[in-house]
Amino acid sequence: MTRQIASLVVMGVAGCGKSSVAQALAERVGGVLIEGDAFHPQANVDKMARGIPLTDEDRAGWLDRLSTELERVASRGERAVLACSALKERYRDRLRAATASLGFVFLDLPQAEALRRVAQREAHFMPASLVESQFAALEPPVAEPLTLTVDGTRTLASIVTDAVAWCVNTQAQPDLMPVA
């Protein structure tokens, strides 16, 4: 049985580069970019802007909206590339239920680097004070199917090149569950 990657989620904590990597990947593979932050309800955005971490309940509707969007893109025969924190395994499982053969690219980043990057961002609702809560919630996708872990401190070009190569390699090999 061949496990092909139909769509991708670029995941990790705030500041890891999800949006940049997802945009570059979508361009490289001819996919449809889905910016997960754009699907947060205003109440979530307001809560984060006040420095209050989201709860599982806060994220539930957001994940449902993202799942619907993944299904919509897949139903058109297109490959989605979603930028989404997907911090917990149950969040990833919820997204996996929306579309077959969903691959995850986990941008692994040290907490100090995430804090530095988030503190430098301009015009983003997520304050640096929430970085610690992101790491507290993070369940790294160790040994989960169709998951690639990459060092988030690497260059954008090298991350995208490795992710594309991983997708191609995964589609060429039967029953592959890569974790790099």
Which two structure tokens, joined as six digits, stand for 16? 């890891």
Whole domain around residue 156: which residue ranges? 7-172
- What pLDDT sits at residue 3? 55
- What pLDDT sits at residue 39? 96
What is the pTM for the complete model shown? 0.89
Which residue type occupies 71? E
β pairing state of 32-35 and 80-83: parallel
Domain count, the chain: 1
The answer to whether residue 69 sits within a structural domain is: yes
Pick out the chain residues at pLDDT < 50.
Answer: 1-2, 172-180
Rounded CA gap, 163 and 30, in Å?
14
Q: CA 159 → CA 7, 64, 152, distances in Å? A: 17, 28, 8
- What pLDDT sits at residue 2? 42
The answer to whether residue 120 sits within a structural domain is: yes
- What pLDDT sits at residue 180? 36
Q: CA 6 → CA 92, 103, 131, 153, distances in Å? A: 15, 7, 31, 26
CATH number, domain of 22, equals: 3.40.50.300
The answer to whether residue 1 sits within a structural domain is: no
